[in-house]
C-alpha cells in the first residue's frame, strides 16, 4: 500500500525555520517547471515593530472573504490583551513590506487604530510567500473550498507550477489538487453555493458528472430545496442521466422509422417513373413537413397515381371512386 501524505505535510513553522521549496524566478518574474524541485531556504530576519502603513496585503492571499463580525471580535481581543502573535512579512522595497501570514490580525490592528505592529520578517521569494500564505490558511481551516481551489490555481498560473509541483509544496496528493481545481469548472452560482457552505464538495463532485451547466444549476436548486444528501444527489443525477439517455434513444428510434418510410416512398415513386428518385425530408417544422403517419398515407395513395406517356410534362392524379 502506498504511503499517504499528511494533510499538509510540513507545518508552517517548519517551513519558516527549516526552509521551503522555491523556484528561482526567471527574467519574466515566473519560475520554470524544470526547477520545481529546487529548494531555497527562508531566512528569518527577526521580530520587530513596523508602521502599519508600511505593510501591504499579499496579492496572492487565497482568502477572499473576511467576516466583519469575526474581525470585530478579534479587534476587541487585541485591544484587551494585545497582539499575542506577530504577523509575518517580507521586504518588497525600500521601507515597504508585504504580508505573508496574518492579514486578519493586521486588519484588526488597523481597526483599533494601532500605528505599529509586531512583525516577523522573512527573506523569501514571491513564490515561497504565496505558498506560505496558502498553507497558513489551510492549516487554520480558514478557506472555503472555492478559495482553496483558487489558491492552487493562482500558484499554477502566477508561478508556472504544475499540479505535481503544487502538491509537493503544500504537502497534498496530486489527486487532491486536481479534484479541487475541477470545482472551478462549475458555474459562478454553484461556486457561490460552495463558498457559503450551502452545498458540500461531495454534492459538487456529483454535479460535475453532468455536462450541461444548465442541468447542474437546475439539479443544484432541487438539492438545496429538498435538502438532499450526497447519496440522494447521486440517485437524482443518475435518474436524470437515464431519462436523458432514454429520450435520446426514443428520438433515434423515431428517426429510424421515418427513414424507412421515406425509403419505401422513394422505391414506389421510382417504380412508377422508372427513374431514380430521392425524397428529401427536412427538419420538422409546423406547416413544412409531413408526420410519419402522413407519409404512410401518402405512400398508400401512390396506388391511385396515373402517369401519362413520356411526352407529357403534366402529372395527373386520379381520385379513387368510392
| Residues in contact with 148: Cβ distance below 8 Å, sequence separation at least 6, in sequence order | 62, 138, 180
Please list the residues that pair with 43 across neighbouring strands: 123
In a domain, 242, yes or no: no
pLDDT, residue 305, reads 55
User: The whole model's pTM is what?
Assistant: 0.58
Whether 220 maps to a domain, the answer reads no
Supply the pLDDT for residue 311: 39
Do 55 and 172 belong together in one domain? yes
> Is the pLDDT score of 275 beyond 60?
yes
Strand 96-101 to 316-317 pairing:
unpaired
Note the pLDDT of residue 111: 94
**Which residues span the domain enclosing 75?**
12-24+36-185
Q: Comparing 246 with 281, which gets the higher pLDDT?
A: 246
Write the burial class of residue 242 (CB in 10 Å: 0-12 exposed, 13-18 middle, 19+ buried). exposed
Angstrom CA distances, 8 to 14, 34, 115, 163, 269, stand at 12, 23, 35, 15, 76
Structural domain contains residue 159: yes
> Is 141 domain-assigned?
yes
Are residues 133 and 266 located together in one domain of the fold?
A: no
Q: Are strands 316-317 and 20-21 parallel, antiparallel or unpaired?
A: unpaired
Distance of alpha carbon 252 from the chain centroid:
32
183/300: higher pLDDT: 183
**Stronger pLDDT, 31 or 164, i.e. the higher one:** 164
Angle formed at CA 21 by CA 35 and CA 31, multiple of 5 degrees:
40
**83-142 pLDDT per residue, tens:** 988 999 999 988 899 999 899 999 999 999 999 999 999 988 888 888 888 888 887 767
Whether residue 206 is contained in a domain is answered as no
Q: What is the mean pLDDT of the chain?
A: 75
Q: Which residue has the higher pLDDT, 260 or 56?
A: 56
201 in any annotated domain? no
Q: Is residue 194 part of a domain?
A: no
* Partner residues linked to 20 by β-bridges: 40
Length of the chain: 322
Provide, rounded to the nearest whole percent, the portion of the chain with pLDDT above 90: 42
Q: Please count the structural domains in the chain.
A: 2
- CA gap 123, 40 in Å, rounded: 10
Among residues 127, 156, 185, the one where a domain terminates is 185
Regarding whether 156 and 61 lie in a shared domain, the answer is yes
Do 142 and 276 belong to one domain?
A: no
Let me know whether 19 and 158 are in one domain: yes
Picking from 133, 164, 185, the residue at the C-terminal end of a domain is 185
> Mean per-residue pLDDT for 66-70?
88
Q: Tell me the average pLDDT across 150-160.
A: 90
Q: Taken in order 90, 136, 20, 125, is the CA torsion positive or negative?
A: negative
| pLDDT given at position 289 | 45
Write the pLDDT tens digit of every residue in 236-271.
999 888 887 776 655 555 555 566 667 777 777 777
Residues 166 and 19 in one domain: yes
**Percentage of the chain lying above the pLDDT 70 cut:** 66
Would you name the residues annotated as active-site residues?
A: 103
Residue 257: predicted pLDDT:
57
Report the pLDDT value the prediction gives residue 268, as an integer from 0 to 100: 74
pLDDT (0 to 100) of residue 237: 93
CATH for 40: 3.90.1530.10
What is the pLDDT at residue 95? Answer: 85
Report the alpha-carbon distance of residue 59 to residue 78 in Å, rounded. 25
Q: 295 and 163 share a domain?
A: no
Residue 173 lies in a domain: yes
Pair (50, 165) in one structural domain? yes
Residue 33 has pLDDT above 90, yes or no: no
Res. 303 pLDDT band, cuts 50 70 90: low
Do residues 135 and 60 touch, judged by C-beta distance below 8 A?
A: no
Domain boundary among 127, 161, 185: 185
Question: Can you give the pLDDT at residue 29?
Answer: 40
Q: Tell me which of 84-88, 176-180, 237-241, 301-305 is least confident.
A: 301-305
Amino acid at each position: 500500500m502506498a504511503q499517504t501524505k499528511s494533510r499538509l505535510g510540513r507545518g508552517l513553522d517548519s517551513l519558516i525555520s527549516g526552509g521551503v521549496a522555491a523556484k528561482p524566478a526567471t527574467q519574466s518574474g515566473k519560475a520554470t517547471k524544470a526547477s520545481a524541485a529546487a529548494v531555497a531556504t527562508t531566512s528569518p530576519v527577526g521580530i520587530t515593530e513596523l508602521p502599519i502603513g508600511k505593510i501591504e496585503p499579499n496579492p496572492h492571499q487565497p482568502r477572499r472573504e473576511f467576516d466583519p463580525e469575526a474581525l470585530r471580535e478579534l479587534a476587541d481581543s487585541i485591544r484587551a490583551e494585545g497582539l499575542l502573535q506577530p504577523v509575518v512579512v517580507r521586504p518588497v522595497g525600500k521601507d515597504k513590506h508585504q504580508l505573508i501570514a496574518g492579514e486578519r490580525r493586521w486588519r484588526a490592528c488597523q481597526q483599533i487604530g494601532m500605528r505599529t505592529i509586531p512583525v516577523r520578517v522573512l527573506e523569501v521569494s514571491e513564490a515561497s510567500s504565496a505558498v506560505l500564505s496558502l498553507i497558513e490558511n489551510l492549516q487554520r481551516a480558514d478557506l472555503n473550498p472555492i478559495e482553496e481551489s483558487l489558491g492552487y490555481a493562482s500558484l499554477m498560473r502566477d508561478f508556472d507550477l504544475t499540479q505535481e509541483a503544487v502538491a509537493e509544496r503544500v504537502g497534498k496528493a496530486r489527486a487532491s489538487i486536481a479534484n479541487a481545481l475541477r470545482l472551478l469548472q462549475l458555474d459562478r452560482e454553484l461556486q457561490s453555493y460552495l463558498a457559503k457552505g450551502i452545498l458540500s464538495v461531495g454534492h459538487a463532485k456529483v454535479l460535475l458528472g453532468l455536462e450541461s451547466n444548465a442541468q447542474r444549476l437546475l439539479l443544484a436548486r432541487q438539492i438545496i430545496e429538498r435538502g438532499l444528501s450526497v447519496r440522494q444527489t447521486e440517485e437524482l443525477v443518475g435518474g436524470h442521466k437515464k431519462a436523458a439517455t432514454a429520450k435520446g434513444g426514443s428520438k433515434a428510434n423515431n428517426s429510424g422509422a421515418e427513414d424507412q418510410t421515406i425509403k419505401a416512398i422513394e422505391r414506389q415513386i421510382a417504380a412508377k417513373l422508372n427513374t431514380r428518385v430521392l425524397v428529401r425530408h427536412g427538419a420538422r417544422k409546423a406547416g413544412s413537413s409531413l408526420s410519419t403517419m402522413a407519409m404512410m398515407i401518402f405512400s398508400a395513395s401512390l396506388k391511385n397515381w396515373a402517369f401519362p406517356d413520356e411526352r407529357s410534362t403534366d402529372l395527373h392524379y386520379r381520385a379513387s371512386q368510392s
